[in-house]
Amino acid sequence: MIIHEHKAIFVHIPKTAGTSIECLFGINVFDDITLNQNTFTGWDGYKQMYIQHCSIQQILDWSMMDLSNYIR
């Protein structure tokens, strides 16, 4: 997940309270599972995965944004 306001990248590892962290930042993936390239959340039908569960390398590879100044 990309949090632009805080210039941070959060990698949601399943079963580690990641959903609580997402809610803390105002992202509720249960309300809207639509793919959101801006926050890097939601279901990606092409990749067949919830992209908030991507690895940091996948986020950097797949994102079209310059994230070099972001905390990881």
Those residues with Cβ within 8 angstroms of residue 18's Cβ, 6 or more apart along the chain or in another chain: 10, 12, 52
Those residues with Cβ within 8 angstroms of residue 55's Cβ, 6 or more apart along the chain or in another chain: 11
**Type of residue numbered 7:** K
pLDDT, mean over the chain: 86
Domain spans of the chain, in order of start: 2-62
Q: How confident is the model at residue 7 (pLDDT cuts 50, 70, 90)?
A: very high
Provide the whole-model pTM: 0.73
Q: Which residue has the tokens 């632009």?
A: 4
46-61 pLDDT, tens digit each? 989 888 888 989 988 8
Identify whether the C-beta of residue 56 lies closer than 8 Å to the C-beta of residue 1.
Answer: no
- C-alpha closest to that of 25 among 42, 49, 6: 6
